[in-house]
Amino acid sequence: MLESPPKLPSALESVKPREMDVNAELAHDAAEHAQFPTDGLPEVAVLGRSNVGKSSFINRLVGRRQLARTSSTPGKTRRIHFYRLDQSVYLVDLPGFGYAAVSRVEQRAWRPLVESYLGGRRPALKGCVLLVDIRRGPQQEERELLDWLAAERIPTRLALTKADKLRAAQLSARMDAVSRQLSLATEDVAVVSSRTGKGLAAVVGWIQEWTGLLLRRPDGSAHD
């Protein structure tokens, strides 16, 4: 008796896409300059005011839920975290600034660490992404930081976070207003939501421009 041929999938049967998670790991947890990586891999720094959503932003960007640990206590991150992606690029999480409940003594303690990284003419640092809550817009500290980064000749782009908190009709107007206020080209400003993932395609493009690494969603599809 002849064996039946193997059953072929019908056109109605879907094939699940192969998982394509970014190989991401916390490679360095630095409390001082001596603990920064020395392998020369390109780095992209993520900066922002405390409670702007840096951890959620990083997790959504690399497709991991808990790579960067979120906290209900703003100002908790007091070290510089270097996340190595696909063994080829570092995404660098800098301590948040501007949280009033953190003592001025603590803030003064963090500042030399951050300035030793950003102000050290570090060849591996290819660019910065500054996160700003779209509902608040850039405050004096963000404007001063942008001026300082420009003086250090570090390419910097702006990601307006928490876009899901506003109506769609408001987003374009807010983006245009911020671009004019900071004299930034519109292509250097993105409106993003870490909850939905909307707008991250622009950030992915910046990272690819700076490092050559193209980040995708876990299923291999492109970011929105």
Identify the pLDDT of residue 11.
Answer: 35
pTM: 0.83
Identify the pLDDT of residue 109.
Answer: 59
Distance CA 26, CA 58 (A): 12
User: In angstroms, how far apart are the furthest CA atoms of the chain?
Assistant: 85
**Positions in the chain whose pLDDT score sits under 70:** 1-21, 69-77, 98-110
Question: What token pair was written down for 66?
Answer: 């808990």
The type of residue at 156 is: T
Ordered by where they begin, the domains of the chain are 24-211 (3.40.50.300)
The type of residue at 168 is: A
Distance CA 122, CA 101 (A): 31
Distance CA 49, CA 100 (A): 11
Identify the pLDDT of residue 99.
Answer: 44
Distance CA 203, CA 221 (A): 15
Identify the pLDDT of residue 98.
Answer: 59
